[in-house]
Amino acid sequence: VQLQASGGGLVQAGDSLRLSCVPSGRTIDISLYAMGWFRQAPGKEREFVAAINWKSGYTNYLDSLKGRFTISRDNTEKTVYLQMNNLKPEDTAVYYCALDLVYNDYVSTEARAMDYWGKGTLVTVSS
C-alpha cells in the first residue's frame, strides 16, 4: 500500500493549507483502517497531529492544534484531508500520513502503531 501525501508548500503566518492523502496500490478494505497525520520538524521527533477512523469517523487531535486543524475523509475518493488554518511558524515540518489497521472505532496516536507511511509533504510557514 502506498500513501501519497500532497498539499504542502510555503505560506505566511496566518494562512491556510489543506493536505491530502490517498492510499493506492494493493486493494484494501479502507473501512478497517484509521488514517493519521504526523509531523516532524527539523531536529525534533515525529509527533502526532490528528487521526480519523475511516468507518466511525472518530477523530483525535494533538491538544495544542484543536481549533486550528481539522481532519476529514471523503469515502468516495478514499482521501483524507488535513485542513490547517491560522498557520504558525512552529507548524513548519514535514507532514506524514499513515494508515493503521484497527479493530475498533477509535484511532491510535502512536507512530509505532501505524502500518503504512507516506513519504511526507513539506509545510513551511514564514513569519
The string of DSSP codes covering 34-90 is EEEEEEE-TTS--EEEEEEETTT--EEE-GGGBTTEEEEEETTTTEEEEEE-S--GG
The predicted pLDDT at position 95 comes to 98
Give the cell for residue 72: 476529514
The predicted pLDDT at position 123 comes to 98
The predicted pLDDT at position 22 comes to 93
The predicted pLDDT at position 1 comes to 86
Query: For the chain, which residues score pLDDT lower than 50?
Result: none
Q: Find all residues with CB under 8 Å of 1, minimum gap 6, and list them.
A: 23, 24, 25, 26, 28, 99, 115, 116
The predicted pLDDT at position 87 comes to 98
DSSP 8-state code for residue 113: G
The predicted pLDDT at position 86 comes to 98
The predicted pLDDT at position 127 comes to 94
**Strand-strand pairing, 9-12 and 121-126:** parallel
